[in-house]
Amino acid sequence: MATKKPVKKVVKKAVKKVVKTVKKAAPKKVVKLVKKVAKTAKKIAAPKAKPAKAKVKRTPNAAFMKALTPSDILANIIGSAAVARTEAVKRIWTYIKKHNLQDQVNKRCINADEKLKALFGGKAQITMFELAKYLSKHLS
């Protein structure tokens, strides 16, 4: 991809040629119109560059890493040891994959077996986006 400076130079040269040609053979109105077009072309060819934002290194949120105690229902699936929220989600997905509970038609849906049905509040199927909502109720 070409940088802005060469594009700007090319546009300037082309505009100058057009203006010279039109000045020789056309009235003043046409010259004004061509100059207007030239200004527009310059704006298009070289828009003002925005200053680059300084990159800030993200720090992990400590709330995600805090060890939480699972409820009895959740402990049946992932174990009773205190785990971080992210680790709890990983373990639930491991359980889902191991027992082939992901819907075959719509991969975003999770079909609940007896253990997951208790976790999901009696629902037979939820989407993966609802998983965090039900999980938060069982971690404290």
CATH homologous superfamily of 62-136 equals: SWIB/MDM2 domain (1.10.245.10)
Q: Which tokens is 3 given?
A: 């940088």
Reduced to 3 states (helix: H, G, I; strand: E, B; else coil), residue 129 is coil
Helix axes 28-45, 4-25, angle to 10 degrees: 170
Q: Enter the tokens of residue 51.
A: 């200053």
User: 77 falls in which pLDDT band (50, 70, 90)?
Assistant: very high
DSSP 29-78: HHHHHHHHHHHHHHHHHSPPPPPPPPP------HHHHS-BPBPHHHHHHH
Neighbouring residues of 65: CB distance < 8 A, sequence distance ≥ 6: 84, 86
pLDDT digits (tens, 9 = 90+) for 51-60: 778 888 888 7
The predicted-structure confidence for 12-70, as pLDDT tens digits, reads as follows: 777 777 677 666 665 666 677 777 777 777 666 666 667 778 888 888 777 778 899 99
pTM: 0.56
